[in-house]
Amino acid sequence: MRIDVFSIFPEYLDPPLNVSLLGRARAAGALDVRLHDPRAFTADRHRSVDDEPFGGGAGMVMTPAPIFAAVEAVQPSRPLFLLSASGRRFDQALARELATGPGFSLICGRYEGVDQRVADHLCDGELSVGDFVLSGGEGAALVVIEAVARLMPGVMGNDASATEESFTQARLEYPQYTRPADFRGWVVPEVLRSGDHGRIARWREAQALRRTLARRPDLVAEPLGPAERALLAEFPENEFPEDEFRDEAPSR
């Protein structure tokens, strides 16, 4: 997969892209991340990439010319997204969608923002990684790249890891435990030490459902069905009280 990233701070991105899963995927040739600095495509000796906003206001705005020139010269993978607080919310569904394609590209904004003509006439869309504001798009770019890359076959080593995570099936992930079985008096649930893999699978499903209902009820669109209620009743020792599960659909 090829991913092109346009940023005036490529040095921000390069180190984390060369470690852990991303670094191994790049070294193996499964992931081809290319960094491009719009300053290299400026026409003035100061390599200017920003200017004052029309209409006045605080801060500076990234100018369109260097970004257009960089994209037109590079001919990056599409779709091309501008990382923006006003963009579409990036989520696991979109990560899975992008992971099945040949590649995509990202433009990292800075300052007070990017000239709107970049979004309107150059990009295929805008992406936001959350309801907060960053100083630039580089941090968001790393979030998108890692979320997508880890879903590519072979990147995680064990592909089954990606099928049981949070948001994979509209559920948060169940709690995980490892050795020691007793740590400072906090004991790993007996079911996980039972060796009964069918019961373990049901316990994990129940825990995932309880955790989702308690922490992210917006992910559960319908009232619980008989099978789900039976599953919860089978494991009443879970950490969330039974009275949190109501007949009506969870409020949003």
Domain boundaries, the chain: 2-149, 182-244
Look up the CATH superfamily of 182-244: tRNA(m1g37)methyltransferase, domain 2 (1.10.1270.20)
Q: Where are the alpha helices (DSSP H) in 63-172?
A: 64-74, 92-99, 116-121, 138-149
DSSP state of 33: E
Question: Of 141, 144, 137, 128, whose CA–CA distance to 95 is shortest?
Answer: 144
Strands (E), the chain: 2-6, 32-36, 50-51, 61-62, 80-89, 103-108, 125-128, 182-183, 186-187
Mean predicted confidence (pLDDT) in 62-70: 97
CATH number of 2-149: 3.40.1280.10
pLDDT at position 222, please?
78
Q: pLDDT digits over 4-58, tens only?
A: 999 999 999 999 999 999 999 999 999 999 999 999 999 899 999 999 999 999 8
pLDDT at position 152, please?
94
pLDDT at position 243, please?
42
| Lowest mean pLDDT, pick from 18-27, 76-85, 107-116, 156-165 | 156-165
DSSP state of 90: P
Residue 103: strand pairing partners: 2
